Amino acid sequence: MLKTLSLQNFVIVNALEIDFQGGLTVLTGETGAGKSILFDALGLLLGDRANSLQIKPGANRADLTAEFQLENQASNAERLAWLAEAGFDAIDHTLLIRRSLEPSGRSRAWINGQPATLSQLKELGEQLVELHGQHAHQALLRTSAQRELFDRHAGLTDCVDEVSLAFKTWKQKEEALNEAQTKADRLSEELSQIEWQLQILNDLDLQDGEWEQVNDEHQRLAYGAELLSAVESTLAQLEGDETSGLIGIGQSLQQRLAGLINKDPRLAELIGLIDAAVINLEEAASECRHYLGKADLDPGRFQTLDARLQSIFEAARRLKERPENLFALQTTLDERKEAVGAASDLDKLKAQAEEAFKRYNTLAKELTAQRQKAAAPFANEVTRWLHELAMTGMRFEIRLEPRQEPASFGMDQLEFLVCQHAKGPLLPLAKVASGGELSRVSLAIAAVAAQATQTSTLLFDEVDVGIGGNTGHVVGRLLQELGMQHQVLAVTHLPQVAARGHQHLRVQKQKQEDGTNASEVVNLDRDQRIEEIARMLGDEGVRQSSVKMAKELLSL
């Protein structure tokens, strides 16, 4: 339930903090005092869009804070689970929502001190608060609003969501089938083209990495003769006789200088260099013999590789692709063939669409049965409240008829009907004659719907407009009864309603030092309530009578 609401620089509020109690809290005050501003503030805290006009003139920002207490009970289990999943820990089951509005039109929001998005505020707000505005009866003129309200009352929201998902799936399957039928010829041509390409690649039977391997080996064999000739010539020059071979010449130089070293020892360094050169030349000759011994210039192998390369180049030319990309192309074509084949399999797509509709149809029929089961009790309860609200001859009914076309919300056309007197026809709500009657019908519907809601806090913003006299007493009793099950906040102009409140708050304007007016809220004690209810009765000239009547109302 809502525990505290704090406002700073909001519209005509300087600073305000209100502590709320359980049961029925009534808010009263002169027209224009700012009663509905409190509900506007709650709306912003629970996801409504903000604008810069909601910031008090002259202020650099507006701050709004609401504290909710989530008792450890079954009705709050869903909210606590939502908070835990979203990462907003509820310490001691306390929920603190804050929002800051800036003149630029931007705003920021927090849940339990952690940044939150407007969509998160809205999703959470739908679990915490239910608003019945003074123009709720206008929304109820739409059959879509009637159906949504009834489904919420009957606890069918999850069922409706399931039907909606099944409807969406069915439509997607139908769309895939229709697209395949429309594109059947094009898909067939594409499939033929893919199969032709794959046939070329399958005949080629190219392996992963084969192109690189064959190409490298082919190049090596193509230059094989030239390489052997060069190595043989090198070996011949290294191992020729002592007058022509490099090794022989080196050895001859070694011998000649060795015979002269005793004449000049300084030749030792030169002899060492020639010795090293001879050793290197001998190693080079050995490497040449090793290379020539390992050389494989099989003409047959070269021809085989040459033919394989020609096959690869030919396939690449026909497919208009580079040779190194052919193996990857085959994988891509295999995947595309499977996708095109599935998309062009009309029998399979038709079976999938039929299966999807069958599931939707089953769920929609179950939803229809649940609606039919809940319709009569709901209608009877609304009719009972209409009689309580001085509309004795009126009867409320819910008409459920099959739709000509399936819809995301099921196969029912649901509409609220009223019969204004015993022998009169059943008419849609839009045909109700007067605004006062429509307001009372709307209030009766809201009361029945609210009794079944799991939302802990209900807001009624001047839903008693157009109601007076003895009917006002019934409205007060109705809201008071709701207050036994929920926390109810009601803005009212009826003294009969105000007197039923467990808590009474008066919203009033006060002149500020700068000459402007600002709203403030006073939590009234019994004597102050008597004064306020007397004012609402219109005590000018009949002061004592109004005070007496106020006391009598409070004693009910």
The residue to which tokens 């009601």 are assigned: 490
Q: Residue 327 pLDDT more than 80?
A: yes
Question: In a 3-state reduction of DSSP, which class is residue 166?
Answer: helix
- Structure-model confidence comparison of residues 369 and 122, the more confident one: 369
- In this prediction, residue 170 carries a pLDDT of 95
Mean pLDDT across the chain, nearest whole number? 84
pLDDT category at 366 given cuts 50, 70, 90 is: very high
The token pair at 407 is: 């819809």
- In this prediction, residue 417 carries a pLDDT of 92
The secondary structure of residue 537, as a DSSP letter, is H
Q: Residue 211 pLDDT more than 80?
A: yes
- In this prediction, residue 458 carries a pLDDT of 86
Q: What is the dihedral of CA 366, 367, 373, 374, to 10 degrees?
A: 160
pLDDT category at 410 given cuts 50, 70, 90 is: very high
**Residue 124 sits in the same domain as residue 197:** no
Q: Greatest CA separation found in the chain?
A: 154
Find the helix packing angle between 346-388 and 157-182, rounded to 10°.
Answer: 150
210: CB partners within 8 A, 6+ apart: 327
Find which of 177-186, 285-294, 356-365, 411-420 is predicted with most confidence, using mean pLDDT.
356-365
The residue to which tokens 């929609």 are assigned: 364
347: left (phi over 0), alpha (psi -120 to 50) or beta: alpha
Question: In a 3-state reduction of DSSP, which class is residue 322?
Answer: coil
Does 420 map to a domain? no
Give the DSSP letter string of 337-405: HHHHHHHT-HHHHHHHHHHHHHHHHHHHHHHHHHHHHHHHHHHHHHHHHHHHTT-TT-EEEEEEEEEEE
Q: How would you label 78-102 residue by residue, b for 16+ Cβ within 10 Å and e otherwise?
A: ebbeebeeeebebeeeebbbbbbbe
**Residue 15 sits in the same domain as residue 122:** yes
Between CA 274 and CA 280, with CA 276 as vertex, the angle to 5 degrees is 115
- Structure-model confidence comparison of residues 37 and 98, the more confident one: 98
What proportion of the chain, given as a percentage, has pLDDT over 70? Answer: 91
**Residue 25 sits in the same domain as residue 109:** yes
Q: Residue 341 pLDDT more than 70?
A: no
- The CA-atom distances, in angstroms, between 33 and each of 28, 38, 120, 350, 355 are 9, 11, 31, 64, 60
511: CB partners within 8 A, 6+ apart: 517
What proportion of the chain, given as a percentage, has pLDDT over 90? Answer: 26
- In this prediction, residue 27 carries a pLDDT of 92
The residue to which tokens 């835990």 are assigned: 84
- In this prediction, residue 523 carries a pLDDT of 92
Does 40 map to a domain? yes
**Residue 195 sits in the same domain as residue 337:** yes
Give me the domain span that covers residue 120. Answer: 1-134+455-524
| Mean local confidence (pLDDT), 182-201 | 76
91: left (phi over 0), alpha (psi -120 to 50) or beta: beta
Does 387 map to a domain? no
The token pair at 550 is: 């106020």
**Domain count across the chain:** 2
Cβ neighbours, 10 Å, residue 349:
20
Interatomic CA distance for residues 163 and 363, integer angstroms: 6
Instruction: Specify which residues 98 forms β-bridges with.
Output: 65, 110
- In this prediction, residue 388 carries a pLDDT of 83
32: CB partners within 8 A, 6+ apart: 509
**Residue 122 sits in the same domain as residue 202:** no
- In this prediction, residue 328 carries a pLDDT of 86
Model confidence pLDDT, tens digit, residues 241-279: 767 788 888 888 888 888 888 888 888 889 889 889 989
Interatomic CA distance for residues 416 and 414, integer angstroms: 7
H or E stretch including 17? strand 13-19
- In this prediction, residue 525 carries a pLDDT of 92
- In this prediction, residue 254 carries a pLDDT of 86
Model confidence pLDDT, tens digit, residues 443-492: 788 788 876 676 788 888 777 776 777 888 888 888 898 888 889 998 88
Domain termination site, one of 343, 363, 386: 343
Interatomic CA distance for residues 397 and 417, integer angstroms: 5
Q: Residue 17 pLDDT more than 80?
A: yes
Write the CATH number for 487. Answer: 3.40.50.300
**Residue 195 sits in the same domain as residue 336:** yes
**Residue 8 sits in the same domain as residue 118:** yes
Model confidence pLDDT, tens digit, residues 132-157: 765 555 667 788 888 988 998 888 98
**Whether the Cβ atoms of residue 4 and residue 31 lie closer than 8 Å to each other:** no
Does 439 map to a domain? no
Interatomic CA distance for residues 283 and 35, integer angstroms: 107
**Whether the Cβ atoms of residue 384 and residue 395 lie closer than 8 Å to each other:** no
pLDDT category at 226 given cuts 50, 70, 90 is: confident
| Mean local confidence (pLDDT), 38-56 | 88
Strand order in the sheet with 410-419: 395-407, 410-419, 427-428
| Mean local confidence (pLDDT), 59-80 | 81
Q: Residue 326 pLDDT more than 90?
A: no
Q: Residue 100 pLDDT more than 90?
A: yes
Does 441 map to a domain? no
**Residue 128 sits in the same domain as residue 198:** no
Q: What is the C-alpha radius of gyration for the chain, rounded to an integer number of angstroms? A: 46
Interatomic CA distance for residues 290 and 243, integer angstroms: 25
**Residue 98 sits in the same domain as residue 215:** no
**Whether the Cβ atoms of residue 465 and residue 439 lie closer than 8 Å to each other:** yes
Instruction: Specify which residues 415 forms β-bridges with.
Output: 399
Model confidence pLDDT, tens digit, residues 412-445: 999 999 988 777 888 888 776 566 677 778 778 8
Q: How would you label 115-128 residue by residue, b for 16+ Cβ within 10 Å and e otherwise?
A: ebebebbeebbebb
Does 147 map to a domain? no
**Whether the Cβ atoms of residue 528 and residue 519 lie closer than 8 Å to each other:** no
> Going by DSSP bridges, is the β-strand pair 395-407/129-132 parallel, antiparallel, or unpaired?
unpaired
pLDDT category at 343 given cuts 50, 70, 90 is: low
Does 442 map to a domain? no
**Residue 193 sits in the same domain as residue 339:** yes
In this structure, is the dihedral angle defined by the CA atoms of residues 461, 465, 469 and 475, taken in order, positive or negative? negative
- In this prediction, residue 436 carries a pLDDT of 63
Does 314 map to a domain? yes
- In this prediction, residue 194 carries a pLDDT of 83
- Structure-model confidence comparison of residues 69 and 421, the more confident one: 69
| Mean local confidence (pLDDT), 31-45 | 84
pTM reported for the whole predicted model = 0.60
Cβ neighbours, 10 Å, residue 462:
20
- In this prediction, residue 297 carries a pLDDT of 63
Model confidence pLDDT, tens digit, residues 273-318: 988 998 998 899 899 888 887 766 666 777 788 888 888 888 888 8
**Residue 215 sits in the same domain as residue 324:** yes
> Going by DSSP bridges, is the β-strand pair 487-491/457-461 parallel, antiparallel, or unpaired?
parallel
- In this prediction, residue 81 carries a pLDDT of 79
**Residue 97 sits in the same domain as residue 203:** no
